[in-house]
A and B are shown apart, each in its own frame.
Chain A
Amino acid sequence: MRPAMLFVDVASRFRSDIKVSNGDTEVDGKSIMQMTMLAATVGAKLKITADGVDAEEALEALRELVEVRQFDES
């Protein structure tokens, strides 16, 4: 639950629409319900897309959260 929560928190800071897909389903990256329903476990591959004025910053922030910090909250 915690990674989904962090992801939603970061995504929600941006105005762009953010979608997350695991290949089969695409969900709203700002919705904790949809993100948890996506039920990504460790090692799962996710595709993140952003569409809007701050799309690039958003993608960068999310990439940093997922790849660099690996959901570490510090």
Chain B
Amino acid sequence: MEIKKGIAVSPGIAIAKAMVINSQDYRIPRRAILPSQLDVELKRVRNAFASAISELKELEKSKSISESNIKDIFAVHMRFLRDRSLRKKICDLVKKDLIVAEYAVSVTLREIASHFASIKDAYISERATDIYDIEKRLLKQLIDSSNQDVEHITEECIVVANDLSPTQTASFDRRFVKGFATNTGGRTSHTAIVARSLGIPAVVALEDVSSVTDVGATVIIDGNRGVVIINPDEETLAQYEIYYEDFARLEHELDSLRELPAKTRDGVEISLLGNIEFPEEADIILDKGGYGVGLYRTEFLYLQSKSEPSEEDHYEAYLKVVEKLKSKPVIIRTMDLGADKVVHDNHFQVEDNPVLGLRSIRYCLQHMLLFKTQLRAILRVSAISNVKIMFPLISNLQELLQAKMILRDVMEDLDEYSVPYNPDIEIGIMVETPSAALTASMLARECDFFSIGTNDLIQYTLAVDRANERVATLYSANDPAVLRLLRNIVYDASKAKIALSVCGEMASEPENVLLLIGMGVRTLSIAPAMIPEVKKVIRSVTVQHCNNLARQALSMNSKRQVSNFLRDAAIKILPEAF
């Protein structure tokens, strides 16, 4: 049994077998296999050789490989890959030590390489590089194939990895993934957000969990305490099975709030919407008693497939959601990726600072056809539903005006072909940059609603990378700077009489729910799984009390003071939420 402590990022208990994902640039751990898995592992070795050979053949065919010394290198690689005794050596090692194929490949080839390197003849010792290349070729095949296995999971498992990319999380079959444990990450990293929105327990920042966990080992994820237990003993396992039951019961109790309104004790209704990443999550919103979709992230469309999504891909994904939601509102956010994440962009230039680079709406305004495809699909869906469109990362008025102008041009194209759409579709923006927050009064005149994206707003305002553990403590929704910007946005929105919601993480934290209500926010868009809990908070407070809290919080001059104050207040109202 091994117990590891990390950061709890999504609550709940999960107990299942481990599915370990390697990444190529990561050290290959000596991970054991069960004797029953031996045949599978040996087959993986053979398949890796076979696919490495066919990959090499393809490479040899390509024209750029006409240079003779590269040809020679490839010829050497090919002979090694076809060498039966090399394959046998690796297979023997897998059998003898019961270890994963990756490790056996790595050990065997490194042994050969170091033998070469030790020989005095310079020509031969330099050949060690070739052997490392062959190692890389084989590992690539093994890792690619195990990553593909993850896409085809057919039984319940806990995903253990160094880190999970948006592409990987997008490809999981969510019926089977019961929990996440990763080496890196923080509260607002991608894995954390996805886990919370799916209601899957997750613990991150576990340092080396992916190398100490064996494939198929039993793993317990305690997303409440930030603990991961590998190969638990019987006693621990039994204890956690009880926790699991208790937690499920508590969830069930919260579910009983489903039909009740999200109304404060003094009768003020708060709209609770859900943030979703995948169409399937719309069901969770309805299940949990949410009023609509406050943020439909559309990045998965761009990450899931290797080619740019077509208008029909977009349309179908949106249709799935609006069909479930019927006449309820669905806010679709246009593509919010950095240029580095748009895989099908052949002209991509590396940026020193992608977070401040060509991303999101900026990218769309420079890739008009990609933008058009998405706008057309949203407009088409608007004909039959209550969808609204939201532009992310607006940082000045010009961007909003340009985006609106293009939307209008796309509407004209639809007119031309008599394609129906809602010409009065509501247009909103994410307020998530300090510049947008400071010019909210100007922006408010040009749109129908604001949605405050607190995650980015905090990161840009406080200049803190929320995923960087070394500065993560500087990241806080309660920083006086953040509170002042929030107050400004709420004021400008209400003065311009436009709708306003908050769709960042903070909107689902009980103490900050009190703060936001006190600042005048009446719509919160949160992870669907959090809806019952937040509803419970809302039903336990009065607006008047929240107003007092917000006023006092705004007069304080440190984030710690604000956090402690709000936390104390929240504990008094709702002790069980903490």
List the interface of chain A (C-beta within 8 A of B).
1-2, 5, 8-9, 28, 30-34, 36-37, 39, 41
Contacts and interface: CB of A to CB of B under 8 A. Distances in A.
Interface in B100-137: 112, 115-116, 119, 121, 123-124, 127, 130
A30 B496 CA distance: 81
Contacts of A2: 72
Interface in B30-87: 72, 75-76, 79-80, 83-86
Contact of B127 (A1, A28, A30, A41): A1
A31 B85 CA distance: 6
Interface string B173-203: 0000000000000000000000000000000
A37 B80 contact: no
A33 B83 contact: yes
Given A2-B72, A5-B79, A31 B127 contact: no
A31 B84 CA distance: 7
Interface residues of B, number: 19
Nearest to A42: B121
A1 B89 contact: no
B125 to A, nearest CB: 10
A9 B115 CA distance: 23
A19 to B, nearest CB: 12
A33 B89 contact: yes
Contacts of A1: 76, 123-124, 127, 130
Given A1-B130, A2-B72, A5-B75, A33 B121 contact: no
A30 B85 CA distance: 9
Which of B83, B112, B127 gathers most chain A CB within 10 Å?
B83
A33 B80 contact: yes
Interface of B: 72, 75-76, 79-80, 83-86, 89, 112, 115-116, 119, 121, 123-124, 127, 130
Q: Is the interface of A mostly helix, strand, loop or mixed?
A: helix
B112 A33 contact: yes
A28 B75 CA distance: 19
B76 A5 contact: yes
A34 B127 contact: no
B86 A31 contact: yes
Given A2-B72, A5-B75, A5-B76, A32 B83 contact: yes
Given A5-B76, A37-B115, A31 B121 contact: no
A39 B112 contact: no
A2 B121 CA distance: 14
A39 B79 contact: no
Contacts of B124: 1, 36, 39, 41
28 contacts: A1-B76, A1-B123, A1-B124, A1-B127, A2-B72, A5-B75, A5-B76, A28-B85, A30-B84, A31-B84, A31-B85, A31-B86, A32-B76, A33-B80, A33-B83, A33-B85, A33-B86, A33-B112, A34-B85, A36-B112, A36-B116, A36-B124, A37-B115, A39-B115, A39-B121, A39-B124, A41-B121, A41-B124
Which of A31, A36, A37, A39 gathers most chain B CB within 10 Å?
A36
A32 B121 contact: no
Nearest to B118: A39
Given A30-B84, A34-B85, 6 more contacts: A1-B130, A2-B72, A31-B85, A32-B83, A37-B115, A39-B124
A5 B79 CA distance: 7
